[in-house]
Structure 1
Amino acid sequence: MTSTTTTVSYEIKELPPHPQIQAGQRYRNPLHRVALAATWALDAYFIVRLGLLITAVQQTWQMWLMIAVEWIFARISRQNQLLTVAAGHTAARPRERLRLNGSESLPKIDVLIPCCGEPLDVILDTVRAACFMDYPNSQFRVLLLDDGGSAPLKDAVHDLQLTHPNLTYHTRGSHPGKVFAKSGNMNYALFSLQESFQPEFCAILDADCIPAPDFLRATLPHLLLNPQAVLLTTRQYYYNLPAGDPLSQSRIHFYACHNADLDVQKCAIDAGSGALFRRQTILDVGGYPTFSFSEDWQLSLILQGHGHQTLQVEEPLQFGLVPTTLQGHIAQRNRWNIGHAQQVKALFPPTGKALPRRLQWDIARNGVGIVLSLCGYLVVFLALPVLFLSDGDVIPASSRVLVSVQILLAVAHIGLMWLYALLQAASTGFRVSLFSHLENSWLAGTQLFAIFKFSCFTSKPKGSFVTGSSANAWNCSVTPSLSSKFIQTISGGAMFGVVLFSLTVGSILFSIWRTLSSTIGVDGDRTSDFVRRLLTTIAWPPLLHLCYLSIVNLSVPVTCLLRPPRYPPRAAQLEENSKRGVRLPRVDVQKEISYQRAPLPAVSLVLLPAVLIAALVGAVVV
């Protein structure tokens, strides 16, 4: 194919799609249909449930609490399903793998690498790889933007400039309270460092994200072929993930499900590192927004609000690092959600003055919606032990017929929800687990506390908020002792999840014991009453579904406490290629992270049909 921009033509070649991604596409059509059916079943179920509850003669607080927690998690799942419906079926395929050929008259590009306190060897690996990218040296520059003001880093860059004259070092100097503002660092480059060399495009790489040699040639064609697209984001692959990725640090659901469906609608969310954008468009909207720590997310919303298209590619084009301790992981996720909470600032000056009023409200609603989801997770996790410990019906049980109707609708609703989760995993080549959109939901309480603490008691970040900063003690990969595990769990904020898990499991066991104790000596004539009692209390299908989700998610910090993830040493994952000084992840490491598959809960998949069938039989018996 050939792209023509103004008077310049570019030769662009399409490569075969990634095998694993391609394998999952045959599930897109059934996934779309099941997603649509699941939303209909959910609507029908809650209309009937709410109607019967409102008109019930006997109403209890357990009934209202049950329908509330059902609705919270069902609504979160519904948002996931509606995104699939909006993306369509056969058209929702991954973006093509393209390569820009030739070396004549290629667009000018600035590669921006902001850093702030990361280890020197980590930054230099990224810088060297960026300098050696396959692109004419006269047409691109590498700008290292150091907000940490590191003298050793400046000296190291000076040495590299002897062989890479297109590499430069820059620092903004002292900015009290804003030293760690990544958005301000990038705006400094966009508005102050591009007068003599004015690039048409800019790429952004985090200091710990090593670009593939063909990064520019793989990303640029998508913007050249689509003049309406102004930003392209790429999936971040991590080469130091522990086996099994117990903390879901790979964020595969975000890239392979959420953002992939948004990409079909040309409104993908920028994930920060590995983005390529049209420089002038970013300047026209005022540069990177500085009112939020999640500047990449906010930039995407602002661009879309101005009518621009944003895209995503999933192929491996950059390789980064994840925090190597539970404490570091929690701190990273807290920072992201603090950034989302800051989106309400879009409604107020001085931020609001630069944005259309409608866009201000869209950004604020998006942030409030994310924070409310955290509130929803917490409410459900707290409510489930209360429901199991209480001794009362969770649905109106005045009529056997109405009980049967509710059970039948509940089985259809839960069954379609599980079928959608299974098909979604299959459509990604089984790179995500079931209900992966709930990953890290066990952190909801910790994240809400972090938002409250930051908003009410902290006006400026203390220390470095940068994930890989050497200022953070949690970036040490040394295996902790048992005592330090508990200290990290408490100080990092995971203890709340551990307590909730213990409370949930304990309440479930107590509820089962109480139910079994009360049924000793039940004769055959009372069998139907017992089944009815069971299905309207602890065996209510949606309650069992929420119980499964709660235990699976809340068990994460417990598992990590008892068996901490083992992160491979960074140096052991890298190897030097033919170009001196450039280190990339080993070939086997790249293959492993590119073809990563999520384990399917076989036991759950066997138990689910049994539970649903038992509920259907129970609906007939009662």
Structure 2
Amino acid sequence: MLSKHEYDILELPPDDHIRFSLKYRKALYFISQAAIWAFQLYFLVRLLLVITTPQQTWQIWLMLLVEYIFARIPRHDQFLTVSASKSGQSRPRDRLRLLGNDHLPRVNVLIPCCGEPTDVVLDTVHAACSMDYPTIHFRVLLLDDGASNALRDAVASLRSQWPHLSYHTRGQQSGRVFAKAGNLNYALFELQPEAQPEFCAVLDADCVPKSDFLRATLPHLLRDPQAALLTTRQYYYNLPDGDSLQQSRAHFYTCHNSELDRMAAAIDAGSGAVFRRKAIVDVGGYPTFSFSEDWQLSLMLQGLGYRTLQVLEPLQFGLVPSSLDGHIAQRNRWQLGHSQQPSVLFSDANQAIPRHLQWSITFNGVLIILGLVGYMVGFAAVPILFASGNLIPASSSLIVQIQVVLAVLHVALTWTHGLVQAAHTGFRIAPFAHLENSWLASTHILAIIRFHCVSNKPKGSFVTGSSANSWNRMMELSKYKKLRKDLLNNGLLYSVFLFFAILSTFLLSFYGALSSDYAAGSSTTPQTLLMTLLTTVAWPPMLHIAYLALSNLWIPVAYLLQRPEHPERRSRMVTHATGIFLPREDVQMKLLQHSLPPLGYLNHYILVPVVLITIFTIAVTM
């Protein structure tokens, strides 16, 4: 049907994987509510028992802290689901298309780059110039902070075919701090054509847009005058099979940001963003107090009353770093950006930002970094807890029973929520995907400490995942040097140590409980043995946390055993009749795989109800 707005906007049927997933919405809402109340009851009872127990030990306090650490993100997701379900947006964002060729809004497509390989940048430029949109209504601006003569000459030769393409540079900016934000602000404030566009789009140098990118994104902003920015999910066409390093960011896009989108508070993920130029100019352009300029821009816009949206359609295809070095460098950059958020309070350049918004941005950054600290402490504490003895107050069997029953309820609802949340996305994601790359927490904290306390000249130019960049040149090293670099420089040695420490202390703790019972002989009753197991190695939250820790720390172990093969990008692309390189159709379809029927990764959940029912039965019959 056509909208009644000024522009002709066509509403397309929803994608099948989104339509099928909607049937889980009510279940997800009620399970989220139940999980929230169960945890609050459980944690309150646990806290009261820990405070009042005569057996005050550091183990029971540490166990309580670690339980809270690993419950924090699922609870955040649950609260998001509840809040989003009460908002006006009751279902995923519609698929819209802007029709016609006359009187369309003017758009500047900004492509910032800085040192990426010329062929990578030109693929993006070609696809951007060839988008299905009248050339008199949009321009493509290549913003080159690398001052590349090859790019300048290539653009000059292309202008006869695409007169709406232009090349701009501020000179050599490679390695400068906040280069991308400064580059985009250069386009917004210093490049002054006769008529400024109403909208701007931003594409990373290695993100190729589909031909209908503008027609699919602009209608959402045209329909909602209060919407200042729309971000699109990034799909990566060079992901290795299985995505062993969790580079797709599936949880962020399909769980976290999708719920925020229902509340018109989505977070911009960088490439593929479209925004109202006036709104961005009015807030002072892209913020330069943090590397994560896209994240901070979203917070600023929301704090000033604007709406920010997300579209899950596959409208752009980018590259992930093809080495562990590149992956860690990219993730470190994001976390460094969050660690810089408190600096918004202290720079004169940020005086235009209202004080309440400065504090909001600061708290957001502090909470994110505390989350990293939490995971670092949580993973390290698991083997200590397994080896330490009683983990909960156990002054009587009744006290243990109460805690075990509530713990089983809490853990069961946590797993149920993870299962239904995965099914609700409509995409294939792993259970507890919110923990993606949590095994890198200690690496991020070390990078933050080095950045703020050691480095004199911080680098701000982290630009692409292309194998041509220096951090992806490990393929030139010998196997021994690769292994040494990964173990020592990239922190894998610590992760591998933790993995085997957790596994060994779990087995030793279980063996220790059984062997102590055997040594005690007839003086120990089966009830005493069960009490010992339930308060140590078989404590339900401890088993749950051990599963989370081992499944995530297994990622670097598996990486060392078999490094993932990132396909060469050209092997995933095909030349279209217009000479544009785009990912092949089969590659695009693979990125849109549906969940495994009917509810996702069921094999991860087979033993959980058996274990929980067994523990519950033992507890209530002691």
Do they fold alike, i.e. is TM over 0.5? yes
**1:427/1:600 Cα in 2 relative to 1: closer, same or farther (>3 Å)?**
closer
- The counterpart of 1:187, out of the listed 166, 185, 188, is 185
Letter in 2 for 1:346: V
**1:433/1:282 Cα in 2 relative to 1: closer, same or farther (>3 Å)?**
same
Letter in 2 for 1:19: D
CA deviation after TM superposition for structure 1 residue 194, in Å? 3.1
How many Å separate the matches in 1 of 2:482 and 2:616?
45
| 1:301-344 deviation line (CA, Å, top 9, x unaligned) | 00001000000000000000000111111111000000011100
Map of 2:49 onto structure 1? 52
How many Å separate the matches in 1 of 2:164 and 2:501?
59
| 1:88-139 deviation line (CA, Å, top 9, x unaligned) | 1795421000000000010110000000111111000000000000001111
Map of 2:24 onto structure 1? 27
- The counterpart of 2:153, out of the listed 129, 152, 155, is 155
Letter in 1 for 2:60: M
Q: Does 1:333 align with 2:331?
A: yes
* Correspondence list, 1:95-134, <5 A: 95-134=93-132
- The counterpart of 1:138, out of the listed 136, 139, 157, is 136
* Correspondence list, 1:157-306, <5 A: 157-175=155-173, 178=176, 181-306=179-304
CA deviation after TM superposition for structure 1 residue 420, in Å? 0.2
How many Å separate the matches in 1 of 2:400 and 2:301?
50
How many Å separate the matches in 2 of 1:38 and 1:602?
20
Number of corresponding residues: 617
How many Å separate the matches in 2 of 1:209 and 1:350?
34
How many Å separate the matches in 2 of 1:28 and 1:459?
50
How many Å separate the matches in 1 of 2:193 and 2:300?
25
| 8 Å Cα contact 1:147-1:171 kept in structure 2 | yes
How many Å separate the matches in 1 of 2:442 and 2:112?
31
Q: What SS does structure 1 have at the residue aligned with 2:340?
A: helix
CA deviation after TM superposition for structure 1 residue 464, in Å? 4.2
Q: What SS does structure 2 have at the residue aligned with 1:74?
A: helix
Letter in 2 for 1:44: L
| Larger displacement relative to structure 2 (510-519 or 181-190) | 510-519
Name the % identity.
56
How many Å separate the matches in 2 of 1:532 and 1:481?
53
- Structure 2: give runs of 5+ residues left out of the alignment: none
**1:564/1:100 Cα in 2 relative to 1: closer, same or farther (>3 Å)?**
same
How many Å separate the matches in 2 of 1:43 and 1:180?
42
- The counterpart of 1:419, out of the listed 394, 416, 420, is 416
How many Å separate the matches in 2 of 1:154 and 1:536?
68
Q: What SS does structure 2 have at the residue aligned with 1:157?
A: helix
How many Å separate the matches in 1 of 2:241 and 2:477?
18
Letter in 1 for 2:620: V
| 8 Å Cα contact 1:575-1:584 kept in structure 2 | yes
* Correspondence list, 1:62-81, <5 A: 62-81=59-78
| Larger displacement relative to structure 2 (14-23 or 336-345) | 14-23
Q: Does 1:380 align with 2:378?
A: yes
* Correspondence list, 1:534-549, <5 A: 534-549=533-548
Map of 2:575 onto structure 1? 576
Letter in 1 for 2:582: L
**1:389/1:600 Cα in 2 relative to 1: closer, same or farther (>3 Å)?**
farther
How many Å separate the matches in 1 of 2:574 and 2:101?
28
| Larger displacement relative to structure 2 (75-84 or 90-99) | 90-99
CA deviation after TM superposition for structure 1 residue 520, in Å? 2.3
CA deviation after TM superposition for structure 1 residue 516, in Å? 2.6
How many Å separate the matches in 1 of 2:160 and 2:493?
51
How many Å separate the matches in 1 of 2:460 and 2:46?
50
- The counterpart of 1:85, out of the listed 82, 87, 95, is 82
| 8 Å Cα contact 1:232-1:311 kept in structure 2 | yes
How many Å separate the matches in 2 of 1:499 and 1:213?
48
| 1:445-495 deviation line (CA, Å, top 9, x unaligned) | 000010111111224334842233677333358597532431341222333
Q: What SS does structure 2 have at the residue aligned with 1:584?
A: strand
**1:4/1:167 Cα in 2 relative to 1: closer, same or farther (>3 Å)?**
farther
CA deviation after TM superposition for structure 1 residue 505, in Å? 1.7
**1:3/1:107 Cα in 2 relative to 1: closer, same or farther (>3 Å)?**
farther
Map of 1:367 onto structure 2? 365
| 8 Å Cα contact 1:236-1:274 kept in structure 2 | yes
Q: What SS does structure 2 have at the residue aligned with 1:144?
A: strand
CA deviation after TM superposition for structure 1 residue 603, in Å? 4.6
| 1:197-231 deviation line (CA, Å, top 9, x unaligned) | 31000000000000000000000000011111010
* Correspondence list, 1:504-543, <5 A: 504-520=502-518, 522-523=521-522, 526-543=525-542
| 1:246-304 deviation line (CA, Å, top 9, x unaligned) | 11111111111100000000000001000000001100000000111100000000000
Q: Does 1:607 align with 2:607?
A: yes
Q: What SS does structure 1 have at the residue aligned with 2:590?
A: helix
Map of 2:353 onto structure 1? 355
Q: Does 1:551 align with 2:547?
A: no
| 8 Å Cα contact 1:177-1:460 kept in structure 2 | no
- Structure 1: give runs of 5+ residues left out of the alignment: none
| 8 Å Cα contact 1:108-1:139 kept in structure 2 | yes
Letter in 1 for 2:166: T
CA deviation after TM superposition for structure 1 residue 181, in Å? 1.2
How many Å separate the matches in 2 of 1:572 and 1:470?
14
| 8 Å Cα contact 1:3-1:225 kept in structure 2 | no
Q: What SS does structure 2 have at the residue aligned with 1:203?
A: strand
How many Å separate the matches in 2 of 1:179 and 1:401?
60
Map of 1:468 onto structure 2? 465
How many Å separate the matches in 2 of 1:302 and 1:240?
33
How many Å separate the matches in 1 of 2:349 and 2:403?
49
Alignment RMSD, CA only?
Answer: 2.0
* Correspondence list, 1:307-326, <5 A: 307-326=305-324
| 8 Å Cα contact 1:119-1:468 kept in structure 2 | no
TM-score (norm 2): 0.96
| 1:539-558 deviation line (CA, Å, top 9, x unaligned) | 10000010000001111111
How many Å separate the matches in 2 of 1:525 and 1:389?
21
**1:93/1:494 Cα in 2 relative to 1: closer, same or farther (>3 Å)?**
farther
Letter in 1 for 2:529: F
**1:382/1:308 Cα in 2 relative to 1: closer, same or farther (>3 Å)?**
same
Q: What SS does structure 2 have at the residue aligned with 1:534?
A: helix
Map of 2:618 onto structure 1? 618
How many Å separate the matches in 1 of 2:212 and 2:186?
27
**1:373/1:379 Cα in 2 relative to 1: closer, same or farther (>3 Å)?**
same
TM-score (norm 1): 0.96
| Larger displacement relative to structure 2 (195-204 or 539-548) | 195-204
Map of 1:499 onto structure 2? 497
**1:82/1:519 Cα in 2 relative to 1: closer, same or farther (>3 Å)?**
same
| 8 Å Cα contact 1:263-1:312 kept in structure 2 | yes
How many Å separate the matches in 2 of 1:583 and 1:352?
41
Letter in 2 for 1:593: L
